[in-house]
DNA sequence: CAGTGGTCTAGACCACATA
DNA sequence: ATGTGGTCTAGACCACTGG
């Protein structure tokens, strides 16, 4: 009879190990966005595996939008601006179907003690501090989204010194703080607009709004950003494919 | 200078052709849900390609949840009941995090002339007819969703004869009408509950609700079902990963 | 042209399920 | 023990890009 020790699965395919190795280079920043990777053959030689195995790892990472491969050119670390990748993180669309990138206007910033809920969502110790950023976003020329972003001060130490916050904050996280957002989770509810949002969006009280709560994760799955968006959906909608 | 004729890409990799061949068998119904496919080697021999090429086609279809592969057992046509596949088509989740399959109660059925909007959404000719089904769905013991489904009569000729409609309509489409839903598109808005939904959900007027409009497509991308869901989101939410 | 990724093949061996 | 899918390799050739 074999031992009844509860063993870990413990079988990790080679290409998964290769993927992890390459992912570490992205996380550590030794490969930075836009950079071209060594060719499949070079990586295979360096890691002591076959080219097919490297390819399988690269293909998996490409499917996650971490890399970008172009036949004849090479394999590149994905940029946070890369058009369709930002689709991934912005699902509000004008009813007409136009794909617009919403402009933002910062209406408030600050630093405060994280609430218990924030600590839980961002996996922070008690008494941690967070930056908060309030902004309004426009879709069809009208302000339709009011959102409040919270970021752990520990991860973004110099954020308070920055004169202004760009429209594309994920590019900011990447370029200024070396943090790449890999995925996010969103929860949607309908509610009546609250006072703060109503005043910023210039709408009357009692309007129904779409509330989107997002937690965005870094490549190593650490929660990085919490974002609460309040959206007027008269002329736009949240679009999903399944 | 070369000609400026806009040429079709025209290069179709072998594994894409294999995928198309296999997909046709699913669409035509010669392979039915739950059925085990021939092994990779048998398919390779039959189609005159290598096993690796067949594998690539099967992997692609598995990624689309059309097939299910289990090591040591075989490759199977996905069943519409297959737990996680229905995740794909049901994103409303109780706030606690419990994954529940919502019970349904039919509150009305009928046949009527399709509106112009219905014809557009379902790609039907003018004056086409549709079945409509109204039902209420429960999540935490409480009715939280009122939905109206519209289906083209031309695709579901005998639907009127059926005594009742099961909870899982996608299984019904598959088993009784040979139509497999492959994907869907959803658009979400917030609104105030209308009279019909309020009376069915037993809530007061003026409540904010999440409106989900879905168009579901068959394997060949033909639109099959239009569904308008009205959801109370006090104790549940719509969940998305990106 | 050389260098890159993309496809395809053939074969070996491993992990898993079932009988 | 057998048959399935899963991994890994090695090598050939195709398609695309840029100098």
Tell me, yes or no, whether A171 lies in a domain.
yes
Q: CA-to-CA distance for A128 and A118, rounded, in angstroms?
A: 9
| pLDDT(A108) > 70 | yes
Residue-by-residue DSSP string for B8-66: ------HHHHHHHHHHHHHHHTSS-TTPBPPPHHHHHHHHTS-HHHHHHHHHHHHHTTS
Q: What is the pLDDT of residues A131-147, one digit of tens each?
A: 999 999 998 788 999 99
Q: What is the pLDDT of residues A153-205, one digit of tens each?
A: 999 999 999 998 998 899 999 989 999 998 999 999 999 999 999 999 999 99
Q: What is the pLDDT of residue B197?
A: 95
Return chain B residues 118..137 having CB < 7 Å to nucleic acid strand C: none
Cβ distance of B190 and A240 shorter than 8 Å? no
Q: CA-to-CA distance for A215 and A226, rounded, in angstroms?
A: 5
Average pLDDT rounded to a whole number, residues B82-109: 82
For residue A18, what are the domain limits?
A: 14-77
Tell me, yes or no, whether A173 lies in a domain.
yes
| pLDDT(A7) > 70 | no
Residue B212 main-chain phi, psi, to 5 deg = -115, 120
Tell me, yes or no, whether A2 lies in a domain.
no
Sign of the alpha-carbon dihedral angle for A106, A110, A116, A120: positive
- B98 and B159 assigned to the same domain: yes
The enclosing domain of B19 has a CATH number of: 1.10.10.10
Question: For chain A, what is the mean pLDDT?
Answer: 90
- A118 and A220 assigned to the same domain: yes
Nucleotide nearest to B55 (CA to C1'): D5
Q: What percent of chain B has pLDDT over 70?
A: 94
Q: What percent of chain A has pLDDT over 70?
A: 94
Choose the final residue of a domain: A77, A106, A131: A77
Q: CA-to-CA distance for B180 and B88, rounded, in angstroms?
A: 14
**Given pLDDT bands bounded at 50, 70 and 90, which one contains residue B7?**
very low
Q: What is the pLDDT of residue B1?
A: 38
Tell me, yes or no, whether A8 lies in a domain.
no
Residue B216 main-chain phi, psi, to 5 deg = -105, 140
**Given pLDDT bands bounded at 50, 70 and 90, which one contains residue B100?**
confident
Mutate which: B121, B190, B197, vs A, most A CBs within 10 A? B190
**Given pLDDT bands bounded at 50, 70 and 90, which one contains residue B80?**
confident
Choose the final residue of a domain: A32, A61, A77: A77
Query: Is residue A181 a contact partner of residue A170, using CB atoms and an 8 Å limit?
Result: yes
Q: What is the pLDDT of residue A1?
A: 36
In Å, what is the CA distance from B115 to each residue of B123, B126, B129? 12, 8, 9
- A39 and A144 assigned to the same domain: no
Q: What is the pLDDT of residues A22-56, one digit of tens each?
A: 999 999 989 999 999 999 999 999 999 999 999 99
Q: Which of A3-7, A207-211, B44-48 has the lowest mean pLDDT?
A: A3-7
Tell me, yes or no, whether B5 lies in a domain.
no
Average pLDDT rounded to a whole number, residues B123-128: 94
Q: What is the pLDDT of residue B82?
A: 72
In Å, what is the CA distance from B154 to each residue of B27, B122, B222? 17, 11, 13
Interface of A with B in 17-56 (CB under 8 A): none
Q: Is B131 helix (H, G, I), strand (E, B) or coil?
A: strand
Choose the final residue of a domain: B61, B77, B93: B77
- A120 and A182 assigned to the same domain: yes
Tell me, yes or no, whether B143 lies in a domain.
yes
Domain count, chain B: 2
Q: What is the pLDDT of residue B2?
A: 37
A18 pairs with which residues across the strands? Answer: none
- B67 and B93 assigned to the same domain: no
Strands across the sheet containing B143-152: A92-94, A236-241, B181-192, B208-218, B223-231, B143-152, B129-138, B103-113
Cβ distance of A190 and B183 shorter than 8 Å? no
Q: What is the pLDDT of residue B141?
A: 80
Strands across the sheet containing B92-94: A103-113, A129-138, A143-152, A223-231, A208-218, A181-192, B236-241, B92-94
**Given pLDDT bands bounded at 50, 70 and 90, which one contains residue A81?**
confident
A-B Cβ pairs (cutoff 8 Å, strict): 88
Q: Where are the alpha helices (DSSP H) in chain A?
A: 14-28, 40-47, 51-63, 83-87, 116-122, 169-177, 195-201
* Residue among B96, B231, B193 nearest A188 (CA): B231
Question: For chain B, what is the mean pLDDT?
Answer: 91
Give B88's contacts in chain A (Cβ within 8 Å): 242
The enclosing domain of A227 has a CATH number of: 3.40.1410.10
Query: Is A189 touching B (CB cutoff 8 A)?
Result: yes
- B94 and B197 assigned to the same domain: yes
Return chain B residues 59..98 having CB < 7 Å to nucleic acid strand D: 59, 69-75
Tell me, yes or no, whether B2 lies in a domain.
no
Query: For the CA atoms of B34, B132, B123, A92, what is the dihedral angle to 10 degrees?
Result: -90
B137 pairs with which residues across the strands? Answer: B104, B145
Tell me, yes or no, whether A7 lies in a domain.
no
| pLDDT(B83) > 80 | no
Return chain B residues 33..72 having CB < 7 Å to nucleic acid strand C: 48-53, 56, 70-72
Q: What is the pLDDT of residues B20-37, one digit of tens each?
A: 999 999 999 899 999 999
- B120 and B227 assigned to the same domain: yes
- A32 and A57 assigned to the same domain: yes
Cβ distance of A240 and B192 shorter than 8 Å? no
- B109 and B200 assigned to the same domain: yes
- A188 and A227 assigned to the same domain: yes
At B191, which helix (H) or strand (E)? Answer: strand B181-192
A213 pairs with which residues across the strands? Answer: A187, A228
- B67 and B132 assigned to the same domain: no
A29 pairs with which residues across the strands? Answer: none
Longest CA–CA span in chain B (Å) reads 71
- A30 and A143 assigned to the same domain: no
């Amino acid at each position: 009879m074999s031992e009844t020790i509860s063993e870990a699965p413990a079988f990790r395919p080679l290409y998964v190990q290769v993927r992890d190795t390459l992912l570490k280079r992205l996380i550590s920043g030794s490969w930075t966005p836009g950079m071209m990777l060594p060719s499949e053959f070079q990586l295979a030689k360096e890691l002591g595996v076959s080219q097919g195995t490297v390819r399988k790892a690269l293909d998996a990472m490409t499917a996650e939008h971490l890399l970008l491969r172009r036949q004849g050119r090479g394999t590149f670390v994905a940029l946070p601006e890369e058009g369709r990748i930002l689709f991934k993180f912005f699902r509000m669309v004008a009813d007409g179907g136009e794909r617009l990138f919403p402009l933002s206007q910062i209406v408030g910033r600050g630093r405060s003690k994280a609430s218990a809920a924030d600590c839980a969502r961002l996996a922070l110790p008690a008494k941690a501090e967070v930056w908060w950023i309030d902004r309004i976003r426009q879709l069809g020329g009208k302000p339709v989204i009011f959102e409040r972003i919270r970021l752990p001060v520990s991860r973004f130490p110099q954020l308070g010194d920055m004169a202004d916050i760009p429209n594309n904050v994920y590019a900011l996280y990447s370029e200024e703080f070396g943090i790449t957002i890999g995925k996010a989770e969103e929860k949607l509810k309908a509610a009546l607009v609250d006072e703060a949002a109503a005043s910023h969006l210039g709408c009357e009280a009692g309007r129904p709004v779409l509330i989107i709560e997002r937690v965005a994760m870094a490549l190593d799955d650490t929660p990085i950003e919490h974002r609460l968006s309040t959206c007027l959906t008269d002329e736009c909608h949240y679009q999903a494919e399944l």
